[in-house]
Structure 1
């Protein structure tokens, strides 16, 4: 009898390889103490900021009053706080192996380097989005305890939009940061570049006479924030902001993976 053919063997093998890489990356991440510490700090900071921005000064004294519950303010704060921690964690997922010199062993085990890069992105993007969502729910829940009027964040359209907009923005931020991480191969360098773009470079460009604001409209982090908080930048809408930041993130990741494939180690 002729041997049975298995036309899908290659596809199954590739699927198994990617799954094994995801499991391997999860093992590395869950055995890293800094991941738990930074995640805990992110959630704690989100809770503290929610208390600071929504709790009235006389709430504990039972004298009434209170600050209005502002979902957009919480979305902005949680989005910014999450982005700080996610940038650091995203870079570490990529660059820590270079720091300890174990990346060569990793690539000998998985010679198709793009699969390693993809596994690192998929795993941490899912975790980062989930963590950001939890942080936002914590902030909303605390805010709803202290806000000055009767209502629920679950029925507020701004609050409900944040539940998907912040995780989507965070996923793209992971893509962007890991791309920079593959380019730099150094945690401090990658984090510094992304922080500089977010907090320094775009503000400096904005000061350029006549053309500064027009340039910033197409920079990554102005559009990142605009999308998450649903406040359009001058010149285009929210959908365009999402597309612009996604283009930056994808370009950074593709460049980083291209360099990963070309380098000897």
Structure 2
């Protein structure tokens, strides 16, 4: 319990967590407001019927959460781990709690709860922001009965926790803020698609890359020629996240503080 209280104090006693949390909310809710002001016509409906029918799609409303806000999650999850190394007081934490795995799990658990709640609140606020500004189109998004809305309300917090697991695993391996954020940022935004340009192996990287599977779940778009649908994709990403997190935890135990 003392370890949890200590890690909670560290989490909430820095200005960075408040600024980045504000950005998380701003990106998600701000984009939802802009989207709601000018909802585009559904391209598939127009393709089949030739009519410009505008329907609010929940996955489109929270598109900025999936991209920009989740990058903020990467930054926060990294700083939870690496700030101690940057300020060189990680030894104090490990002296206070000799069982280093307790420190690792406390950091993961506390920030996972924090980000799950923040993500749920942001997604819910985004959906209602779009409904509020979209006028007569608001009726096309019944938040609590729409399949897409239900998916983002539970799916995005789950995805956020798994992204934290993945990111903190990388952070424990590297122990360096700029390096971990750079690697995760590149991986999150571009790496797998760039590697997909490689001959022969590229198509397999695109199909089985963890971030591509992560995005497939967020957008409810199953990857072609793969053994699972978008729900299986988040389970696949979860396996990657757990394996990397365990690798990071093992390294923490074995190397010098």
State the TM-score, normalizing by the size of structure 1: 0.86
Return the match for 2:117 from 130, 149, 160: 130
- The aligned length equals 240
Deviation at 1:210, TM superposition (A): 4.2
> Are 2:61 and 1:74 aligned?
yes
- Given that 1:54 and 1:68 are in contact with CA atoms closer than 8 Å, whether structure 2 keeps it comes out as no
Return the match for 2:14 from 32, 56, 59: 32
In structure 2, what is the equivalent of residue 91 of structure 1? Answer: 78
SS at match of 2:62: helix
Query: Per-residue CA shift, 1:58-104, capped at 9, x if unaligned?
Result: xxxxxxxx963221112332222221110000000000000111000
In structure 2, what is the equivalent of residue 22 of structure 1? Answer: 4
State the TM-score, normalizing by the size of structure 2: 0.88
Tell which structure's C-alpha radius of gyration is larger: 1
SS at match of 2:88: coil
SS at match of 1:155: coil
For 1:75 and 1:200, locate their aligned partners in 2 and report how far apart those are by CA, in whole Å: 20
In structure 1, what is the equivalent of residue 249 of structure 2? Answer: 257
For 1:31 and 1:156, locate their aligned partners in 2 and report how far apart those are by CA, in whole Å: 39
In structure 2, what is the equivalent of residue 242 of structure 1? Answer: 234
Computed over aligned residues only, the root mean square deviation of the Cα atoms, in angstroms, reads 1.8
Deviation at 1:232, TM superposition (A): 0.9
For 1:211 and 1:253, locate their aligned partners in 2 and report how far apart those are by CA, in whole Å: 26
- Given that 1:75 and 1:166 are in contact with CA atoms closer than 8 Å, whether structure 2 keeps it comes out as no
Give ranges in structure 2 of 5+ residues lacking alignment.
40-52
> Are 2:181 and 1:191 aligned?
yes
For 1:168 and 1:76, locate their aligned partners in 2 and report how far apart those are by CA, in whole Å: 16
Give ranges in structure 1 of 5+ residues lacking alignment.
1-18, 58-65
- Given that 1:202 and 1:216 are in contact with CA atoms closer than 8 Å, whether structure 2 keeps it comes out as yes
In structure 2, what is the equivalent of residue 170 of structure 1? Answer: 160
Query: Per-residue CA shift, 1:197-229, capped at 9, x if unaligned?
Result: 112210111212343222221111101111122
- Given that 1:175 and 1:250 are in contact with CA atoms closer than 8 Å, whether structure 2 keeps it comes out as yes
Return the match for 1:142 from 97, 111, 129: 129
- Given that 2:57 and 2:148 are in contact with CA atoms closer than 8 Å, whether structure 1 keeps it comes out as no
